[in-house]
Amino acid sequence: MSMAADLMPPAPDAVLSARNVTKIYGSTHALKGVNFDIHRGKVTTLFGENGAGKSTLMKILSGVATPTAGTILLDGEVVSFTSASEARDRGISIIHQELSLAPNLSVRDNIFMGRELRTRTGIDFAEEARQARALMTDLEEEIDPMTLVEDLRLGQQQIVEIARALSVDSRILIMDEPTSALSATEVEVLFRVIRDLTSRGVSIVYISHHLEEALQITDYAVVLRDGSITATAEARDIDLEWIVRNMVGENFDLGSPPTGYAFGEIALSIRDVSVADASGGDNFVVDRMSLDIRAGEIVCIYGLMGAGRTELLECVAGRVPRAGGQVLLEGQDISHLSIADRIAMGLALVPEDRQRDGLVQTMSVGQNLSLASIGAFARRLLLSRTRETAMINDTIRSVHIKAAGGDAPIGSLSGGNQQKVVIGKILTTGPRVILLDEPSRGIDIGAKAEVFRLLAERATRGLAVIFSTSEVAECLSIAHRIIVMRRGRISAEFGSHVSKEEIMAASGEAVVV
């Protein structure tokens, strides 16, 4: 890289800057002459849809990728990082959007993996455990450092990922979707940690699709769209409308409940279903819950972390055992059926963690799409590739997946398009009832609206849709009915005409006036 003669100077308080940075992958221009400043001791928030280039820019700034053209300046001096470890040695760390933990290792081992604390006689495991415990205390999480990561819920795994980044004495900390799996309480704790870091001069880059949440923590806002910066401003000069307008080019909403048709018969009946707490004892995370959903109806299940939303959906889908009750699909008891049999009967789940439970990362887009319905293309011991390819291409079109084709690697897609692959895979099985656990986790407002439009359109064809969320705005979008869960039970039930405050109050969440 070379310093251009007409290079725009960094902001006076910039610690790290990108100037005229371009990144090209084949025929794709992921970044187009981007100028970006990270302000010293401040939170610089980067907004943008999936595929806008946010992660590409962050990978370049953290040494994971190199720019095709342009200049990177650290403290005003031109630098060139050839690896993430080289950038880390200069004080730059990143928390990636998708978790990069080793599930078969302990929390302690994950935090210090690749930079173990050594003495003359070997690794100082006791000191690593002490520091790991201190990090958990700072993040207000009661997690034993010796717990295997695979035994933690997704939100706790996210905390471990954050702890690993905090364990490095960084000057610049890049957080790519750090709160996508966190509860409201955990987000508050993280924000306190961020403010403590900035008070000590640490510079934060914050990326989040939770726009209102991000507004609470940002000092400077930058919007990236189609690989170019479209707007920059200080926090005092922006609001939610400003962000959305610069991200998508117009005022945007998540849709409304589909109308113009009548609901059908009861498609799914949940009767007195209970799910035992996995930690043991006599507690129930779902406690004698009953609910009926009709064909063509869209039902939203809202609740705070720990309310039992995920456990309920996973129980209905057959992923976790019942402690009592029945699950009926169109009047037929499926309580004792396997997951595969429930899918064959017409009930399927889109899981919360698409990377771990929804996709096979070594497979292509097409292979992922056909995975759940592969039996439909089999003739004796032979597979009809022609019929399979036709289904894949039809699903890519109907679900609006932006991909080069069925042969594209699943990892080449944005988070929103990966989520549409997971949903498309389930839809190929011809479900009559679809369950979706946090379907918008980690995807931007545009992709979220596309997913909701897809679900609304399928509901008009008679599909019963049940989705869970921890975002009130999503409750007020396409749902015909909103079920609020609290401590494993239904605390309230609303129609589509309900206020945000009523939903929050029913969940036990504090309402700020």
Same domain, 492 and 512: yes
**In a domain? residue 162:** no
Dihedral Cα 56, 451, 507, 466, nearest 10 deg: -140
Same domain, 392 and 507: no
Same domain, 468 and 510: yes
**In a domain? residue 500:** yes
**In a domain? residue 111:** no
Rg (CA), the chain: 24
| Domain end (from 410, 430, 450) | 430
**In a domain? residue 421:** yes
Whether the model clears a pTM of 0.75, i.e. scores above it, the answer is: no
Tokens of 405: 């084709």
Same domain, 263 and 342: yes
Same domain, 380 and 411: yes
**Phi, psi of 388, deg, nearest 5:** -65, -45
| Domain end (from 380, 401, 430) | 430
**In a domain? residue 452:** yes
Q: Edge-to-edge strands of the sheet including 464-469? A: 347-350, 433-437, 464-469, 298-302, 481-486, 489-495
Same domain, 263 and 407: no
Same domain, 340 and 439: yes
- 256-266 pLDDT per residue, tens: 899 999 999 99
Domain span holding position 306: 253-346+431-513
Same domain, 406 and 375: yes
Predicted pLDDT of residue 348: 93
CA distance 181 to 444: 15
Confidence of residue 1 (pLDDT cuts 50, 70, 90): very low
**In a domain? residue 484:** yes
Predicted pLDDT of residue 238: 92
Number of neighbours of residue 499 by Cβ within 10 angstroms: 12
Same domain, 399 and 332: no
- CATH number of the domain encompassing residue 498: 3.40.50.300
Same domain, 288 and 413: no
Predicted pLDDT of residue 511: 44
Write out the DSSP string of 94-146. Answer: EE-SS----TTSBHHHHHTTTS--EETTEE-HHHHHHHHHHHHHHTT----TT
Confidence of residue 415 (pLDDT cuts 50, 70, 90): confident
**In a domain? residue 437:** yes
CA distance 55 to 57: 5
Tokens of 407: 């042969």
Query: Which one of 50-59, 342-351, 467-476 scores highest in mean pLDDT?
Result: 342-351
What total number of domains does the chain contain?
Answer: 2
Same domain, 278 and 378: no
Confidence of residue 213 (pLDDT cuts 50, 70, 90): confident
CA distance 288 to 506: 18
Residue 512 has pLDDT above 50, yes or no: no
**In a domain? residue 284:** yes
* Summary mean pLDDT of the chain: 87
| Domain end (from 430, 456, 488) | 430
Same domain, 301 and 422: no
